[in-house]
């Protein structure tokens, strides 16, 4: 299946209703593995559909960001249920979630880079031309995202993969209780985070890739705890808060690293190379400062 192509599906007849009640808030221990998936996925899918519709007429940074978050949550959920969904079906769905998240993220990435360049300019860097060029890149990213993310196609795709998943789960685990399953998947996510954290702090200076892996593992665990908290024993509010705090530190570092890579890979025909270089030097200094702060928080996880 070509995951980058259009999904040849009809307009969905089942419309998702978007509400802001957290996914998982209505779960109980009486739910089965199969029924729980539907309860968790449906509100996230509904939000993604609504966000995609909004992007046709809006270009605010938060809308793009929340759409990307919705697709990330769906990737985490499909990972959790992959033992019953099957490797192939999970891979097909999650690759498309990843592609759509990247399309939504293009605008968000230039928003972040633009804010950082503005901060560099305010600190004395002579990069006015690059700041203006970044605003233009952001405008181009909006057009690209709006062109590539068609709400009807997103809705049809999500409606289809959700129906396929529900059908598969009802035939394979409709009578299995949720608690043991949820606890097992959360434990696996916890172990993955611990393993990546230990690898990241094995040397005195953690590398960017290792910190990025910790960030991704932390997101997955946090999303799973938010999904499954109503049905697993023990309060996890503190763990979620701690993970969110660590994610914030890692996010600040990631913003710098991603913006540096974005600017290095972009072409700025109207901006002198020395202006671009000055911005990269400023970003690099900020990156190392934020990397140290992020590494300290990761060491706490690893310990």
Instruction: Give the phi and the psi of residue 149 in degrees, each rounded to 5.
Output: -100, 95
pLDDT in tens, 107-127: 999 999 999 999 999 988 889
pLDDT score, position 174? 84
CATH code of the domain in which 206 resides: 1.40.20.10
pLDDT in tens, 147-171: 999 999 999 999 999 999 999 999 9
Q: Distance of alpha carbon 231 from its chain centroid, rounded?
A: 24
pLDDT in tens, 184-214: 999 999 999 999 999 888 865 568 889 999 9
Least-confidence region, from 65-69, 165-169, 221-225, 292-296: 292-296
pLDDT in tens, 41-89: 999 999 999 999 998 888 888 899 999 999 999 999 999 999 999 999 9
Pairwise CA distance, residues 189 & 222, whole Å: 9
Instruction: Answer yes or no: is 98 within a domain.
Output: yes
Instruction: Answer yes or no: is 109 within a domain.
Output: yes
Q: Distance of alpha carbon 177 from its chain centroid, rounded?
A: 28
Domain count, the chain: 1
Query: Beta partners for 32?
Result: 177
Instruction: Answer yes or no: is 22 within a domain.
Output: no
Rg value, the chain, Cα = 21
Instruction: Answer yes or no: is 298 within a domain.
Output: yes
Who wins on pLDDT, 66 or 7?
66
Q: Distance of alpha carbon 218 from its chain centroid, rounded?
A: 11
pTM of the model: 0.86
pLDDT score, position 204? 58
pLDDT score, position 220? 96
Who wins on pLDDT, 298 or 85?
85
Answer whether residue 4 shows pLDDT above 80. no
Instruction: Answer yes or no: is 13 within a domain.
Output: no
pLDDT score, position 28? 67
**1-to-65, 78, 160 alpha-carbon distances in Å:** 28, 18, 14
Confidence band, pLDDT 50/70/90 cuts, at residue 26: low
Instruction: Answer yes or no: is 10 within a domain.
Output: no
pLDDT score, position 100? 95
Instruction: Answer yes or no: is 114 within a domain.
Output: yes
H-assigned helices in the chain: 33-54, 61-85, 87-122, 128-148, 151-172, 178-200, 208-228, 237-265, 273-302
Residue 100: domain span: 33-302
271: nearest Cα among 122, 108, 134: 134
Instruction: Answer yes or no: is 12 within a domain.
Output: no
């Amino acid at each position: 299946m070509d995951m980058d192509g259009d999904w040849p599906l009809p307009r969905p007849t089942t419309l998702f209703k978007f509400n802001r009640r957290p996914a998982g808030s209505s779960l109980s221990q009486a739910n089965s593995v199969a029924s729980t998936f539907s309860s968790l996925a449906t509100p996230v899918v509904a939000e993604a559909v609504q966000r995609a519709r909004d992007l046709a007429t809006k270009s605010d940074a938060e809308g793009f960001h929340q759409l990307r978050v919705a697709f990330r949550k769906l990737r985490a959920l499909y990972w959790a249920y992959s033992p019953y969904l099957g490797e192939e079906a999970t891979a097909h769905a999650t690759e498309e979630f990843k592609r759509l998240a990247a399309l939504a993220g293009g605008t968000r990435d230039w928003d972040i880079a633009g804010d950082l360049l503005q901060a560099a300019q305010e600190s004395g860097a002579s990069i006015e031309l690059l700041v203006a060029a970044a605003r233009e890149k952001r405008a181009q990213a909006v057009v690209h995202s709006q062109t590539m993310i068609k709400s009807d196609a997103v809705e049809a795709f999500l409606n289809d993969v959700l129906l396929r998943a529900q059908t598969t789960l009802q035939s394979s685990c409709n009578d299995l209780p949720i608690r043991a399953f949820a606890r097992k998947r959360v434990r696996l996510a916890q172990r993955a985070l611990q393993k990546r954290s230990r690898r990241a702090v094995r040397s005195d200076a953690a590398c960017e890739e290792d910190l990025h892996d910790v960030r991704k593992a932390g997101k997955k665990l946090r999303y799973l705890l938010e999904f499954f908290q109503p049905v697993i024993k023990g309060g996890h509010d503190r763990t979620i808060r701690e993970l969110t705090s660590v994610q914030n530190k890692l996010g600040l570092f990631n913003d710098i690293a991603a913006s540096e890579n974005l600017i290095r890979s972009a072409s700025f025909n109207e901006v002198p190379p020395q202006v671009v270089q000055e911005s990269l030097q400023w970003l690099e200094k900020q990156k190392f400062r934020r990397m140290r702060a992020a590494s300290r928080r990761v060491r706490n996880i690893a310990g």
